[in-house]
Chain A
Amino acid sequence: MTENVSSTAPQPPLIEVDHVSKTYVRDGQLTVAVDDANFSVPAGSVLALVGPSGCGKTTLLNMIAGLLQPTKGSVRYAGSEVTSVNCGAGYMTQHDTLLPWRRVLANVSLPLEIQGLDRRVMLDRAADALREVGLQGFERHFPNQLSGGMRKRVQLARTLVYSPETLLMDEPFGSLDAILKINLQQDLLRLLAKRERDLTVVLVTHDLEEAVTLADTVLVMAGRPARVVHVEQLEDLDRRTRDEGVVALRRLPEFSLHVERLWQSLEAASGSAQPRDGDGRSAAAPALESGRAR
């Protein structure tokens, strides 16, 4: 799945966020959640959106998922504009959205059930997906009988069971403890590497280390209204090193360097919220362009 980041063949972007703004009306007041976001995600790459809480990352993800429509600009997926729920994307939301009254297996098979698959095929594929996330033996459990980490795994299995070409993740491991988080990041990387078809991932997180661990490109969003203030390319973090494990990856000097740069861009953005607006945008735009050209 790393190939297309370093490959020279021009890949058409799978997701294009074209000068997108989103304004909410709440109690008669306008709130600009996202201001002029402009980027694209090539097929098979992993993009992370980082930024402080409430900076519109989730809004952006919801627009890519088709749950929300932009006020200005447009989101295009595989060349066509997203105007309703984007069915090519599997969305793993921040909140636990497992149905509490369904057992684990029935939860995972739910997307296939809606597609109207044959019952036998459906349950087989759900069981496979559960095995893929390391949860065989828990098919008959109810979600509330599982730990937080296991529930996340079930959710991941449910998102992957119908093989979407894109995976949208909103703070996927946000509420978990540090060790579990690393384990799940490790599993996710292994999963991504092992898939036959390349999976495109858009990941929202406020954990900079998580972003650097998982992504090929990191967009830093900051300010009110939120803008993309920095773009960090991570192609120098060799994927082969990643196979050795997340912990090894985190020890690399390049890793710390990237995290440090993300930090600085966030600090700069919050330190001088207003004056840097113009700067931030013009600095981000060329980097994006080069990111897209590769």
Chain B
Amino acid sequence: MTLQNADVHVWSGQEAEDASGAALLAQEKAGRRRKRGQIIASRLLVLVAILGAWEISSRTFVDPFAASMPSLIFDRFLEWLTDGFLLGNLAVTLMESVVGFAIGAVIGISLGLALSFNDAASKVCAPYINALYALPKVTLGPLFVIWFGIAIKMKIVMAAVFVVFLIFYNTWSGARDVDQGLVDSLRLMNANKREIARKVVLPSALVWVFNGLRVSFPLALMGATIGEIIASKRGIGFIVTDSAAQFDTTGVFTAIFTLMFVAVAVDRIIVLTQAHALKWDEASSAL
């Protein structure tokens, strides 16, 4: 409160010396709102400019057969939306991603925590984990087809494999990054190892875990779609390959944009959950 008043006092010193404090606060608030409005307007402007340029060039000198154009994509979007084709396939991809993500998260978090509490095991496993982390996961696709077939199971495994290492890594680093001062302060209160783990290590790793989850959901989508592109009869990845096989670029773009919307929406959900769960953490709640 005092800080805010001081701020106002400094920047409005010359311009409004006789204005009352309340008026200054209102003025400051209005200014902030104006700035926010300007940013949103500019964002929309960028979007309109890009779509406009695309539309115009496709109508003039670029072949729409190769590049499609926003108006066609929008029409196709509405068409697929009304006949249920889009939602049906989206549901499949989302189901694969979410289930794979959940499996990967559970395995990653538990493995990360388990290893962080065991220093020797950490050291022994580190090079192997690094090797698996560095491996381009796409190369596992054909193997998974042999093991799990081409049905939904394979895509779920792909999604899980794409996220598990990142989540594991974040959890592991988070749990090892715990402030030793906090641990010592609990030791001084005569806390045992379990209490320290529960009251210090877990909550402090949570920030990292959430960041890991946030970064890795798009990876789950990626894993699921790649699985679908390798072999499938349903899902957004299927729409992409099927449309491309018919040289239907509009269909490809429609699928891509749909996936993008979904990824952004899920990201917002995770961020809001994070802001709520980590209210105490300024960086998390400011996202």
Instruction: State the A residues within 8 Å of B (CB).
Output: 65, 67, 85-87, 89-91, 93, 95, 97, 99-102, 110-111, 114-115, 142-144, 162
- Chain A residues with Cβ under 8 A from B199's Cβ? 99, 110
Residue of B nearest to A112 (CB): B189
Assess the B191–A114 pair: CB atoms within 8 A. yes
Given contacts A100-B280, A101-B280, A111-B189, contact A67 B203 (CB under 8 A): no
CB distance from A60 to the nearest CB of B (A): 16
CB distance from A67 to the nearest CB of B (A): 6
Residue of A nearest to B204 (CB): A101
CB distance from B194 to the nearest CB of A (A): 11
Is B67's beta carbon under 8 Å from chain A? Answer: no
C-alpha gap A100/B179 in the complex (Å): 11
CB distance from B228 to the nearest CB of A (A): 40
Interfacial residues of chain B within 161-197, with CB under 8 A of chain A in the complex: 179, 181-182, 184-191, 195
Assess the B181–A101 pair: CB atoms within 8 A. no
C-alpha gap A13/B186 in the complex (Å): 27
CB distance from B191 to the nearest CB of A (A): 5
- Chain B residues with Cβ under 8 A from A142's Cβ? 279-280
Assess the B278–A101 pair: CB atoms within 8 A. yes
Interface of A is mostly: loop
C-alpha gap A97/B186 in the complex (Å): 9
Is B200's beta carbon under 8 Å from chain A? Answer: yes
C-alpha gap A101/B283 in the complex (Å): 13
C-alpha gap A101/B185 in the complex (Å): 15
C-alpha gap A95/B182 in the complex (Å): 9
Is B17's beta carbon under 8 Å from chain A? Answer: no
Assess the B203–A99 pair: CB atoms within 8 A. yes
CB distance from B277 to the nearest CB of A (A): 9
Assess the B203–A101 pair: CB atoms within 8 A. yes
The 29 sampled A-B contact pairs (Cβ below 8 Å) are: A65-B188, A67-B187, A67-B188, A85-B188, A86-B188, A87-B190, A89-B188, A91-B188, A93-B185, A97-B184, A97-B185, A99-B182, A99-B199, A100-B280, A100-B281, A101-B203, A101-B206, A101-B278, A101-B280, A102-B280, A110-B189, A110-B199, A111-B189, A114-B189, A114-B190, A115-B190, A142-B279, A142-B280, A144-B282
Residue of A nearest to B278 (CB): A101
Residue of A nearest to B191 (CB): A114
- Chain B residues with Cβ under 8 A from A162's Cβ? 189
Assess the B181–A97 pair: CB atoms within 8 A. yes
CB distance from A46 to the nearest CB of B (A): 20
Given contacts A101-B278, A110-B199, A144-B282, contact A93 B186 (CB under 8 A): no
- Besides the contacts A95-B181, A143-B280, what 4 more A-B pairs have beta carbons closer than 8 Å? A67-B188, A101-B206, A111-B189, A114-B191
Number of interface residues of B (CB under 8 A): 22
Assess the A93–B181 pair: CB atoms within 8 A. yes
CB distance from A168 to the nearest CB of B (A): 9
CB distance from B221 to the nearest CB of A (A): 30
Assess the A97–B190 pair: CB atoms within 8 A. no
Assess the A97–B189 pair: CB atoms within 8 A. no
- Chain A residues with Cβ under 8 A from B195's Cβ? 114
C-alpha gap A86/B187 in the complex (Å): 10
C-alpha gap A47/B151 in the complex (Å): 74
CB distance from A184 to the nearest CB of B (A): 19
Residue of A nearest to B3 (CB): A147
- Chain B residues with Cβ under 8 A from A90's Cβ? 188
C-alpha gap A8/B1 in the complex (Å): 53
CB distance from B222 to the nearest CB of A (A): 32
- Chain A residues with Cβ under 8 A from B282's Cβ? 144
C-alpha gap A114/B278 in the complex (Å): 23
Assess the A114–B186 pair: CB atoms within 8 A. yes
CB distance from A217 to the nearest CB of B (A): 24
- Chain A residues with Cβ under 8 A from B181's Cβ? 93, 95, 97
- Chain A residues with Cβ under 8 A from B184's Cβ? 67, 93, 97
Residue of A nearest to B196 (CB): A114
Residue of B nearest to A155 (CB): B185
- Chain B residues with Cβ under 8 A from A115's Cβ? 190
- Chain B residues with Cβ under 8 A from A89's Cβ? 188
C-alpha gap A216/B83 in the complex (Å): 86
Assess the A85–B187 pair: CB atoms within 8 A. yes
- Chain A residues with Cβ under 8 A from B279's Cβ? 142
Assess the B278–A97 pair: CB atoms within 8 A. no
- Chain B residues with Cβ under 8 A from A67's Cβ? 184, 187-188
CB distance from B261 to the nearest CB of A (A): 33
- Chain B residues with Cβ under 8 A from A111's Cβ? 189
- Chain B residues with Cβ under 8 A from A110's Cβ? 186, 189, 199
Residue of A nearest to B188 (CB): A91
- Chain B residues with Cβ under 8 A from A97's Cβ? 179, 181-182, 184-185
C-alpha gap A102/B182 in the complex (Å): 12
C-alpha gap A89/B189 in the complex (Å): 9
C-alpha gap A114/B282 in the complex (Å): 27
C-alpha gap A97/B188 in the complex (Å): 12
6 A-B pairs closest in CB distance: A97-B185, A142-B280, A111-B189, A101-B280, A101-B203, A95-B181
Residue of B nearest to A161 (CB): B189
CB distance from B178 to the nearest CB of A (A): 11
Residue of B nearest to A86 (CB): B188
- Chain B residues with Cβ under 8 A from A93's Cβ? 181, 184-185
CB distance from B55 to the nearest CB of A (A): 48
C-alpha gap A9/B53 in the complex (Å): 94
